[in-house]
Amino acid sequence: MKQQRMPIFLVVLVFFSFSVSGVSGVSGAQSLDTVFPGLSDEMRAALISGQLLANDTTISGDLLYAPEGMGIRRPAGAGKETDNDELESFTVECLSLIPLPDYLVNLSEEELLLHLVNTLRAVSTQEGITYISHRRGNVPYPLFTKSYHVPKVGSWEHLDDPVLQELPSQIHDVVFQKDTSFAGNYYAFNYAIDTDRIFLSVKNMTTLSVFGIIPVIPKQTLNISFAIFVLDEGVLCYSQAHITGQKPTFSFLGFSVHLPSAFQRRITALQEWLSDNLT
């Protein structure tokens, strides 16, 4: 697995343990150059070699890697400043490419999308995944201690991961996750599936609180998005975490949390999980 920290701070996600192989068995797939017609040789080489392109709007002031014209939301206020010159919202984003393993190469595009959707919805397998904890000395530490589907927000009923046999165009899930930073919370997972891509939007339906007692991120102000494209070169994944109405650094009684860094590590862990389960 290769990982590159770009000069611009961000979501250090990494999916890559495998050498690049094309997906010529997937009929009708677009190419990397089609999705990004202005792709520089340097950027293309970086993606193909398994490097991460990452960005934090608290530094750059704008999104850099969101595919244009493909339904990716460009959050308003990414660079908006308050009276004391601190950002009141921020976004972290990344772009990476996953080469397909041999067992998926000969699937049709619809079969591959179905496999990807079922992989994404297997949220119970996120229990025990780790992230790099700066507070604990830059060592791996569990991110989620609980992760499962529930019927609705507030429910404690534990549902099994759903497995689809046919591909719908829309899916709505409610997921309960207990993590080591923000305790237990409910999230809305909304999927939109097109002919060659999947959009997943995750929104917090409860307030995220540090240690479960200090409110930091009010409900419905965290938006995490994944856009997954089936390409000739593999599976392209664009990820974005956007928080509104919140300064990047939260401080309380001498305790400080740098939120862009925290969500960088979170998305990194989720993308590593996706890569491990896909490949």
* Most confident of the following: 89-93, 174-178, 271-275: 174-178
Residue 84 is assigned to a structural domain of this protein: yes
Q: For residue 222, which amino acid is it? A: L
271, 157, 210, 243 alpha-carbon torsion, rounded to 10°: 50
Q: 3-class SS at 195?
A: coil
Q: How far is CA 84 from CA 59, 75, 242, in A?
A: 16, 21, 21
Residue 106 is assigned to a structural domain of this protein: yes
Residue 207 is assigned to a structural domain of this protein: no
Which pLDDT band, with edges at 50, 70 and 90, does 27 fall under? low
- What span, in angstroms and rounded, lies between the C-alpha atoms of 263 and 255? 17
Quick one: 40 exposed, middle or buried, by C-beta within 10 A (0-12, 13-18, 19+)?
A: exposed
How many structural domains compose the chain? 1
Give the distance from CA 99 to its chain's centroid: 17
Residue 104 is assigned to a structural domain of this protein: yes
Residue 202 is assigned to a structural domain of this protein: no
CB 198 within 8 A of CB 225: no
Range of the domain at 104: 32-144+225-278
What's the rounded mean pLDDT across residues 134-142? 79
pLDDT tens-digit profile of 225-242? 998 988 888 888 888 889
What's the rounded mean pLDDT across residues 198-210? 94
* Residue found under tokens 């925290």: 262
- What span, in angstroms and rounded, lies between the C-alpha atoms of 93 and 9? 10
- What span, in angstroms and rounded, lies between the C-alpha atoms of 76 and 244? 9
Residue 191 is assigned to a structural domain of this protein: no
pLDDT tens-digit profile of 68-104? 655 555 544 444 444 444 457 888 888 888 888 888 8
Residue 22 is assigned to a structural domain of this protein: no
Residue 182 is assigned to a structural domain of this protein: no
